[in-house]
Amino acid sequence: MKSVIGWLGDHFYLVLGVLFALALQVNGERRYDDGFGTAKAKGDEALAELRSEHDKLRAGAAEQNLVLYRQQVERANQAEQVLLRAQDEISRLKQQLTQERINRVSTQYTPARGAAPVAAPRFVVTCGWLRDFNAALGATAPAPPGCRAYAGAQEAAWPAPSSDAELLESGVSAADILAHARDYGAWALANLVQLNALIDLHDKDER
């Protein structure tokens, strides 16, 4: 026992140094734990704030996208309504031409004002005229049997310009031509309405 006390007395400063070092270590670890806990709490708080901000931004972007989508749907619906109204108008005009006008204005005429209508003279459309009419419209319609380049030919080739065959009667009447113009006009008007609707929709999207 005395020897231990003696040893401690002889090594007092060494023991004191060791105890001091241990105290420093314990205090340092406690401070480290306190600092780590504080830093972690601040980091968690900052992360929560960042996530909250991101959530707000996402919600705002989603709401803005929803507004833009609804605006696009509304513009598309408006364009569709314009298109449908135009198609109805084209259909009514086509029906009027078919049922009321084409036959009347194609088969009779009045020689003078106040005169009674009489049968219209026979309207002759030559094969060459019909060929060039189709060519002017960009159509690739085959020649009818009476207008084919050679009598009895099975191929639907049109007679060549300046040939005798181009002066043959095609069998097409004035009413046929007007009916064709009716159908072609309805097709062209429908395409024009669709094009204008697309242009208008595109212009509104860019505003």
pLDDT at 77: 75
171 Rama class: left (phi>0) / alpha (psi -120 to 50) / beta: left
Whether the Cβ atoms of residue 154 and residue 160 lie closer than 8 Å to each other? no
pLDDT at 48: 77
pLDDT at 30: 65
Whether the Cβ atoms of residue 201 and residue 76 lie closer than 8 Å to each other? yes
Mean pLDDT of 156-183: 90
> Helix, strand, coil proportions of the chain in percent (round to 5)?
75, 5, 20
Q: pLDDT above 70 covers what percent of the chain?
A: 76
- Average pLDDT in the chain: 78
Higher pLDDT, 129 or 87: 129
pLDDT at 6: 57
pLDDT at 128: 94
The CA-atom distances, in angstroms, between 8 and each of 2, 4, 23 are 10, 6, 19
**pLDDT above 90 (res 115):** yes
- In the block, tokens 């009347």 appear at 104
pLDDT in tens, 87-110: 788 788 778 777 778 888 888 999
What amino acid occupies position 4? Answer: V
Interatomic CA distance for residues 10 and 143, integer angstroms: 131
Degrees (nearest 5) of the Cα angle 128, 134, 135? 85
pLDDT at 14: 62
pLDDT at 170: 92
Distance of CA 61 to the CA centre of its chain: 23
Higher pLDDT, 57 or 119: 119
- In the block, tokens 């690739």 appear at 140
pLDDT band per the 50, 70, 90 thresholds, residue 45? confident
Whether the Cβ atoms of residue 107 and residue 120 lie closer than 8 Å to each other? yes
Hey, is 154 helix, strand or coil? coil
pLDDT at 10: 56
